[in-house]
Structure 1
Amino acid sequence: MKIYPVEGRTVRDPRTRAPVPAKGLTVSDYDPFWARRLRDGDVTKTAPQAEAKPVEAPAAQPETTAEAPAQESKS
């Protein structure tokens, strides 16, 4: 089975002493250590969701005209 750490928790592999990476770790279905970590809620079988950033629509540009500014008459 493939396990993933729960957000906010660091779980170490008892054999390598390395933390379980966010991309997951494949472990034995019959390992009592991982079964206990799963039951206790330290790890999960569900992959974390990628954070989706909302797509912002481009800001509407004000309409501009190509008219020259009006000049004042000097009379």
Structure 2
Amino acid sequence: MEKKLERIINNYLYEDIKEIQKSENLRNLGLDSMSSIELLISIETEFDIQIPDSYLVPGTFENFEKLKETIESILLP
């Protein structure tokens, strides 16, 4: 799951997520509001999940670890 998420996120960043700290703020790496929406759609498609509206807050997309925790909480309730 982690490798799949890395691959998805890397499509929307200036730097490879493997080369940086997973706690690094994704906005500092090039994730803007438009790419956040595109990332959300990609995650929902790739993991076959629906991210609830209540999760659609800036903190969810803060860094790799937060995104991973969000997906895990949906996949493994």
Give TM-score, length-normalised by structure 1: 0.31
Higher strand share: 1
TM-score (norm 2): 0.30
Task: Considering fraction of residues, name the structure with more helix.
Answer: 2
